[in-house]
Structure formats: C-alpha cells, structure tokens
C-alpha cells in the first residue's frame, strides 16, 4: 500500500482531532459561568467554526500528500480567496453575537416597559440581523446577493410596517397606562394584597403599564393601570 495514502489518512485524522480539541477548548472558555449571555451564546458557533476549520485543513493536507499535482495551481487561488473566506466566517460569528445581544437587550427593555416578554419581537430581530450577516458573508465570497437582499428587505419591511401601525394605533392605550401608573405609584407597592373587580392577589412587581399579581386561581397575571382608575379597588398591607 502506498504510504502516501496512510499519511493522507493521518492528516485527515489529525485535522479532525485538532479541530475538535480547539472547538471544545474555546467553547468551554466562552461558556464559563459568569460570562455575559451574549458571549455564552456564541460559544457553540465559534466551536463549530473551529472544528470545521481544522477538518478542512486536514482534508487539504491529505489531498496535498496523496496527489500533489492537484494542488499545484491552487496556492495562488487560495492566497487570494482565503482572506475573503475568513472575513465571511468572522462576519457570521459577529452577526450571531450581535443578533443575540441586541435581541436580548431589546427584549429586556420591552419587558421592563410593559411587563410582558415579547419573544416574537426578539426572534424577528435576531433573524433580521443574522440575515444581514449572511448577506454580507456571501458578498465577501463573491456571490451576487441582489435577489436575496430584495427578499430579506421585503420580509423584514412587512412586519416592521405592521408593527409600526400597531404601535401607532395602540400608542394611546400605552400612554394612558403610563399616565395611570404615575398617578398610582405612591399608593402601590410590592407585597400589598390588591382586589380589583373579580381579581385578587398579592402585588409581585409594579411595571410601567401593568401591575403583576400572584393570584391563587390563575397564577401570575398582569392588571393594566387604567383598570384600577376605571373601577374600585382595595389594598391591604402585608402583615
């Protein structure tokens, strides 16, 4: 048996092994307790990127060992193409990190403002940023992204327009709840027992537009501030 094939197999195995080790080390380092959530979120894609980079390197070495003639015209092409490939990979990783971090920050801001977790908004924002990162990466690789860009813009613009209309139409209600919350903030505090209409429960947290109650029947519920102003309610201080 030709020794070249043995060494080619060794090259592939070493590439796989080094890629797996490098990916595992970096993934564990980024995924340590205490790391920011956005850093921990990119641990897996960075590990996968390193694994496949090591694997690809092993395959290239195997081809170079088993059939050197195949790669003779390649070095010049690789040298001119490799920077674009690396930039494309880095754009994907950076886009993923930005998508996770920005979606999380926006989701937390919306939750603090409304008391309701808008997971659909977070998902849409994350997908939009990732789509932009993919388009930029494909552009680095020389792919014509005109059609893809039109599709992504159309897909993002439609929900954005709908969200804008909903925000405009529902803005009056949000403003009313914010104003009601400001007028009630000196009367309400966490721990009090609130009864309004047919709902009773202990106040867990007071949000800008809602009051979060822990009820015996339905668990945690959110009561709009305007409901308190529009109807009678009673408050009992905790013992």
How many domains does the chain fold into? 3
My answer on whether 53 and 94 are in the same domain is no
The number of CA neighbours under 13 Å toward the Cβ of 183 is 13
My answer on whether 160 and 92 are in the same domain is yes
Q: Is the pLDDT of residue 167 over 70?
A: no
My answer on whether 106 and 148 are in the same domain is yes
Using 50, 70 and 90 to split pLDDT, how confident is the model at 128? Answer: confident
Q: Is the pLDDT of residue 170 over 60?
A: no
Higher-confidence position of 208 and 114: 208
Q: Is the pLDDT of residue 51 over 70?
A: yes
Neighbours of 17 (CB within 10 A): 13
In this predicted structure, which of 4-13, 63-72, 73-82, 87-96 has the lowest mean pLDDT?
Answer: 73-82
**Distance separating alpha carbons of residues 75 and 64, to the nearest angstrom:** 11
My answer on whether 200 and 126 are in the same domain is no
Q: Is the pLDDT of residue 65 over 80?
A: no
Higher-confidence position of 194 and 39: 194
Predicted pLDDT at 58: 82
**Distance separating alpha carbons of residues 124 and 115, to the nearest angstrom:** 19
Q: Range of 20's domain?
A: 1-72
- For residues 8-33, give the mean pLDDT: 85
Contact 58, 11 (CB under 8 A): yes
My answer on whether 158 and 196 are in the same domain is no
Domain end, chosen from 120, 137, 169, is at 169
Using DSSP's 3-state secondary structure scheme, residue 235 falls into strand
């Amino acid at each position: 048996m030709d020794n070249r094939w043995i060494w080619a197999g060794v090259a592939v195995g070493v590439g796989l092994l080094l890629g797996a080790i490098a990916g595992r080390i970096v993934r564990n380092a980024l995924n340590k307790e205490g790391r920011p959530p956005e850093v921990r979120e990119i641990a897996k894609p960075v590990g996968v990127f390193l694994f496949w980079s090591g694997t690809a390197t092993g395959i290239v070495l195997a081809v170079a060992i088993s059939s050197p003639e195949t790669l003779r015209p390649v070095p010049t092409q690789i040298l001119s193409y490799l920077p674009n490939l690396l930039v494309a990979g880095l754009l994907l990783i950076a886009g993923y990190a930005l998508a996770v971090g920005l979606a999380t920050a926006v989701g937390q801001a919306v939750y603090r403002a409304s008391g309701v977790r808008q997971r659909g908004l977070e998902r849409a924002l994350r997908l939009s940023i990732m789509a932009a990162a993919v388009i930029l990466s494909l552009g680095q690789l020389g792919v014509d992204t005109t059609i893809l860009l039109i599709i992504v813009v159309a897909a993002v613009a439609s929900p954005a327009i709908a969200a804008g209309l909903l925000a405009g139409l529902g803005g009056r209600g949000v403003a009313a709840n914010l104003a009601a919350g400001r007028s009630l903030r000196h009367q309400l505090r966490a721990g009090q027992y609130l009864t309004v209409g047919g709902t009773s429960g202990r106040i867990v947290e007071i949000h800008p537009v809602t009051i979060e109650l822990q009820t015996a029947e339905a668990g945690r519920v959110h009561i709009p501030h305007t409901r308190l102003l529009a109807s009678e309610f009673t408050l009992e201080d905790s013992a």
